[in-house]
Amino acid sequence: MCGIVGIAGSQEDKESILRESCRKIAYRGPDSQGVWLSPEGHVGFGHVRLAIQDLSEQGHQPMPSADQRFMMVFNGEIYNHPELRAQLEKNAQAPAWRGHSDTETLLACFCAWGIEPTLKKAIGMFAIAVWDRQEKKLILARDRFGEKPLYYGFAGQGLVFASELKAIMGVPGFEKQLNRDAITLLLRHNYIPAPHSIFQHIYKLPPGTWLSLSEEDWQNRRQVEPQVYWSAYETARQQPKVHYESDAAATDALAGVLSRSIKSQLISDVSLGAFLSGGTDSSLIVALMQQQSAQAVKTFSIGFHEKKYNEAEYAKSIANHLGTDHTELYVSANDGLALVQSLPAMYDEPFADSSQIPMALVTQMASQSVTVALSGDAGDELFGGYSRYQRAASWWARREKTLPFIRVLLAGAAGKLAPGFSGNKKDKLQKLNEVLRAADAVDFYRQFVSYWKDPSSVVLGAQEPATVFTLAPIGSFLETMMIIDTVSYLPDDILVKVDRAAMACSLETRVPLLDPRMFEFAWGLEDKYRVRDGENKWLLKQLLYRLIPRTLLERPKKGFSVPMGEWLRGPLKDWANNLLDPSRLHKQGLLDAAQVQVRWQQHLAQQFDWSPHLWGILMLQAWMDHYDIQG
């Protein structure tokens, strides 16, 4: 796991700029740093290394291919790289190996098969930059699900790229010009989805894509469209359903594919552990890890003194049953307050999933004992686990039973009545209006998961861009929600939250449920294996019940959340009040201060819990302060 940065163009003094950029993200790779410049000086790469596989100098980056055609910097892990090496050797395409790093394996594959065929064969998480000396092209690539970040764009007379924005903000010619349109997406979702970023002319490379740029492209600041080598949406849409003779057969199949994924992700030359929340996904990952380990797996969980948010006691019971080496940390409001100040630097771009706070704390704790931690992320997206899926399905079912002309009448009535109410009644009337007017299932789900419903009215001079919420529905309504979350919420919220928090303390995280073979298995299932008799993640739970007694598992899900509503009225009140001050917002000229102030005052008066809506604005304001950015 590492950090990468690069410059292509006529920028002078590239080496010192790259070294400074590496210094800014040194926590992503504290073990070593490397800088390389092409002989012509047009292209420069920087790399900071967290050594996981091949701890020797033979794993150092930037790394050239054996034939010197390619130079590469790489952030991530290729779990099937031993199999790729074996395939090269079988076909007499392998070089004389210098070491056993997956970086060297990738380079040999590029030489033998080319860029895109290698990306299609590689199973893992990665952000890659390659300079092709033969073709005189810069190639950028990102893994299938977007586990590893990659920003790129134009600064001065050239192109820049990096794992994090802070690595390129200081490059001469970089314009810290806010992308107001992207801020509307932040207010709607509490994250900024790819390909957008907080800055004009800077983009996120979408998951499952690669980009090939010539010198002429970056000199002319030409917008080159990324090429898709794998699509979660298309894979899900085209995956045939598999018929299982029995529930036991389906459970056996899940056990096989998930166990193989976990086994492949245990490849490491350093210590491993796992996050254990006590929920279905993390408990299953830990149970299968422990099955394959001769030693007690190191597990880590976070607890809260506020009982309605606390799952640590359940995690401890499961850890005791499995015999793991368990560590837990209880978090107070003061812990959250202390951490809030560091969030803008940690997340590098405005990001407002409040569970970033416990995530940062659990990764800090884990990093003191291990260098790699496995997580249970993606279980909800693959197996229909989010509680909102059932709520949304209930609303959608009622809408579909209503005749079209009655929908129009009811929507009109709800729209007219809503302004006369406040709080819960107003919110429900607005939601009814949205449900009835939705063009299709995707449009409905977009409104259902939105925070600010009309963010273009809040961000001054902005127009909301189109996102993946323009994709066509697929399969059942549940499957439509799942795939939309897989291509938006998962890469742009969940995986961002984990990557930035973990890398801030030099911890690598891995997600066994995001093996592409696991994804294909999950999308070959019928809905009855996802939700049955009101129970979500049904098939995951059947496997888990084979490993852990039901009595330790059957309880309401609490989620990985914090009491943000209470914190904003208590220990975080003064901090928030300063950031939301109307005179400050007026001076910035970025947000409609009146709308913001109404919700802040309603929240303080406990008329409504607006904490998710306000958190997005607070994270934006705190980020602007940290990086001294004006509106």
Per cent of the chain over pLDDT 90 is 80
Q: Do domains 2-230 and 234-383+484-552 have the same CATH topology?
A: no
* Residue spans of alpha helices (H) in 384-459: 387-400, 404-417, 423-437, 441-448
Backbone angles phi, psi at 372, to 5 degrees: -130, 135
Mean pLDDT of 535-549: 97
**Residue 449 to residue 399: CA distance in whole angstroms:** 17
Residue 137 has pLDDT above 70, yes or no: yes
Question: What is the pLDDT, as a whole number, of residue 241?
Answer: 97
Superfamily of domain covering 234-383+484-552: HUPs (3.40.50.620)
Contact 272, 79 (CB under 8 A): no
Per-residue pLDDT at 336 exceeds 90: no
Residue 560's pLDDT band (cuts 50, 70, 90): low
Q: Read off the pLDDT of residues 140-165 as tens digits, 9 standing for 90 and up.
A: 999 999 999 999 999 988 999 999 99
Mean pLDDT of 521-535: 96
Task: Collect all residues with Cβ–Cβ distance below 8 Å to 131 and sequence separation of at least 6.
Answer: 38, 43, 45, 70, 71, 72, 137, 138, 139
Sequence-ordered alpha helix ranges (H) in 10-75? 14-24
Phi and psi based region of residue 143 (left: phi greater than 0; alpha: psi -120 to 50; beta: remaining): beta
Q: What would the mean pLDDT of 30-56 be, rounded to a whole number?
A: 90
Closest CA to 436 of 425, 426, 447: 447
- CA neighbours closer than 13 Å in the CB half-sphere of residue 151: 26
Q: What is the DSSP letter of 41?
A: S
Average pLDDT over residues 279-298: 96
Determine the Cα–Cα distance for residues 323 and 326; give it in Å rounded to an integer: 8
Rounded CA-CA distance 302/585 in Å is: 35
pLDDT at 317: 95
Tell me the domain boundaries of the chain.
2-230, 234-383+484-552, 387-471, 564-626
Tokens of 598: 């109404």
* pLDDT over threshold 80, residue 216: yes
> How far is Cα of residue 216 from the mean position of the Cα atoms in its chain?
32
Which pLDDT score is estimated for 208? Answer: 98
| pLDDT tier for residue 176 given thresholds of 50, 70 and 90 | very high
What is the reported pLDDT for 331?
A: 79
Give pLDDT, residue 353: 96
The answer to which of 210-214, 337-341, 605-609 has the lowest mean pLDDT is 337-341
Mean pLDDT for 238-248 is 97
Lowest mean pLDDT among 398-412, 475-489, 613-627: 398-412
616 touches 600 (CB < 8 A)? no
- pLDDT at residue number 562: 78
Whether the per-residue pLDDT at 477 is higher than 60: the answer is yes
What is the b/e burial string over 553-565, where b = at least 16 CB atoms within 10 angstroms of the residue's CB? beeebbebebbbb
- Those residues with Cβ within 8 angstroms of residue 352's Cβ, 6 or more apart along the chain or in another chain: 186, 190, 191, 612, 615, 616, 618, 619, 620
Q: In the chain, pLDDT over 70 holds for what percent of residues?
A: 97
- DSSP helix/strand/coil, 298: strand
In this prediction, residues 416-437 reach a mean pLDDT of 72
Terminal-to-terminal C-alpha distance of the chain? 35
- 83 or 417, which is more confident: 83
The predicted-structure confidence for 573-591, as pLDDT tens digits, reads as follows: 999 999 999 999 999 999 9
In this model, does residue 559 exceed pLDDT 60?
no
- pLDDT higher than 80, residue 40: yes
Using CA atoms, how far apart are residues 84 and 102, in angstroms rounded to an integer? 9
Is the pLDDT confidence value at 425 over 80? Answer: no
Indicate if the pLDDT at residue 555 is higher than 80: no
Indicate whether 171 pLDDT > 90.
yes
Banded pLDDT at 612 (limits 50, 70, 90): very high
Give the position of tokens 């229909």. 384
192 in helix, strand or coil? coil
For 292-407, where are the E strands, in sequence order?
298-304, 325-331, 372-374
pLDDT of residue 424: 65
**Mean pLDDT on 474-501:** 97
Q: What is the mean pLDDT of residues 596-616?
A: 96
DSSP code at position 95 = -
Mean pLDDT across the chain, nearest whole number? 93
Q: Following DSSP, what letter does each residue of 136-168 receive, concatenated?
A: TEEEEEE-SS--S--EEEEETTEEEEESSTHHH
Domain 2-230 carries which CATH code?
3.60.20.10
- Taking the CA atoms of residue 401, residue 404, residue 407 and residue 412 in that order, the dihedral angle to the nearest 10 degrees is 180
Identify the helix (H) or strand (E) that includes residue 356: helix 356-367
Q: How confident is the model at residue 420 (pLDDT cuts 50, 70, 90)?
A: low
Query: What's the confidence (pLDDT) of residue 553?
Result: 87
Report the pLDDT averaged over residues 82-108. Answer: 96
